Structure 1
Amino acid sequence: MSAKDEILGRVRRGVGKDDFAGRRAAAIASLKTPERGQQPVMNADLVARFRAKAEYLSSTLGAVATLAEVPAAVAAYLKANGLAGEAVVTADVASLDWSGSGLCVESRPAVDADKTGISSCFCAIAETGTLMLLSGPQTPATVSLLPETHIALVEVSRIVATMEDAFALLRAERGSLPRAVNFISGPSRTGDIEQTIVLGAHGPCRVHLILIG
């Protein structure tokens, strides 16, 4: 054995790197039983908490009772803000009666010329007013990232308390992570220039949430 091998061997033994099986078992056990840190104190009304946090982050909100009412709510929002009645939508909500509300939508990934993107979300987080979106064939991330206006559909039954709860729901329902998990907390913003907040610097300048249920 060379001096180099002897030295490296002592280092490996010192940090436990010879016990590969034991280290792997410990890592798997840790992943299966993740420990939670300190949790915030929240009241039982997660919807009210989510609303307040989302508005603080400069999102606007609307509400409907059923999914079928969404197209009319979207049309009203676009008209009230002087926006065109055209949008790109994720495939999972493309079957709604958009044309019945006078909207022209296309189900496809967004491009930089698209002005409005409409998407669902996997769940929403009451603690911070944040949306959790998963990428996939039915839900391309570009729809929520490229257009100037992003309209997200949020089922109130899928508003969870914390980010830990969001990841627990993801593990329970999907088992494994998708290619990308995107968290959206209001419009894109920056304060790089003279510490002045500017919306829409790196993504949508408007985020409108429609709560369903």
Structure 2
Amino acid sequence: MDTSAARRNILARIRAASGRSAEPEPSEREAVADYLARHPLGPRPELPADREALVSRFIDEARLLASTVDLVESLEDVPAAAARYLAQLGIAPRAVAWATLQALPWAQAGIEVEFRKPVNGDLVGITACFCATAETGSLALLSGPETEASMALLPETHIAVVPASRIVAGHEEAFALMRAERGELPRAVNFVSGPSRTGDIEQTIVLGAHGPYRVHAIVVRGG
């Protein structure tokens, strides 16, 4: 279900209560764009600029966060790579996935995939990503009717398809890309940085406490 309309209605009521129009005026949007353009970036580490270096940095950082990473040449190779990964772990080749991935040859790779919202009992969830950040090895996921946020949160194993062309330097570039391509943020933006973890109990890190035990990124060089 797309909840964007509900969010817009709530914000419209808030604006009306403060004596403003239901939708932002063009001048307001221009003021925000001007501020973002002029606002200086804070201090940040030096990051690579070329594509191969960004991919390499993303892979290194993702692995430091306990994610696993595989590289393939094209999107058509993704299902076979996912099948190999599940076989290595001894996990049955069954999954739920975003509808945006429906065109890939899952059946040919031997994976039974359903394109629906995950429910309790679904062990493997497969998503794409809006982009990924080389600085932290994170995946940026935007919620929507065909890109459910729960797909990366509920199943024990999360497999993410990461086109190399969508790996950006850092979070600043990720948000700039969202503004450029989407105009406004969706209901939920999730940055996934490795498997779920907590250190609440005796300061001992435990994986899978509040989400997936495993995060596996399949980086598509030709994507």
Q: Quick one: which of 214, 219, 222 aligns to 1:211?
A: 219
How far apart in 1 are the matches of 2:95 and 2:39?
A: 40
Deviation at 1:112, TM superposition (A): 1.9
How far apart in 2 are the matches of 1:25 and 1:69?
A: 43
Distance 1:183 1:25, change over 3 A: closer
How far apart in 2 are the matches of 1:24 and 1:72?
A: 45
RMSD of aligned Cα (Å)? 1.9
Deviation at 1:28, TM superposition (A): 6.6
Deviation at 1:177, TM superposition (A): 0.6
Deviation at 1:26, TM superposition (A): 6.3
Q: Report the counterpart of residue 180 of structure 2 in structure 1.
A: 172
Q: Secondary structure of 1:193's partner?
A: coil
User: Displaced runs of 4+ in structure 1, greater than 2 A?
Assistant: 23-35
Q: Secondary structure of 1:176's partner?
A: coil
How far apart in 1 are the matches of 2:95 and 2:78?
A: 14
Deviation at 1:35, TM superposition (A): 3.1
Q: Quick one: which of 19, 37, 59 aligns to 2:42?
A: 37
How far apart in 1 are the matches of 2:155 and 2:206?
A: 17
Deviation at 1:111, TM superposition (A): 1.1
Query: Alignment identity in percent?
Result: 57
Q: What runs of 5+ residues in structure 1 fail to find an aligned partner? A: 1-22
Give deviations 1:119-176, integer Å, cap 9, x for gaps. 0000000000010000001101111110000000000111000100000011111111
Q: Quick one: which of 83, 86, 102 aligns to 2:110?
A: 102
Q: Report the counterpart of residue 48 of structure 1 in structure 2.
A: 56
Distance 1:166 1:28, change over 3 A: closer
Q: Report the counterpart of residue 148 of structure 1 in structure 2.
A: 156
Q: Does the 8 Å CA contact 2:143/2:188 hold for their aligned counterparts?
A: yes
Q: Quick one: which of 179, 192, 204 aligns to 1:196?
A: 204
Distance 1:87 1:24, change over 3 A: closer
How far apart in 2 are the matches of 1:168 and 1:25?
A: 15
Q: Which has the larger radius of gyration?
A: 1
Deviation at 1:43, TM superposition (A): 3.3
- So what's the TM-score if we normalise by structure 2? 0.82
Distance 1:34 1:136, change over 3 A: farther
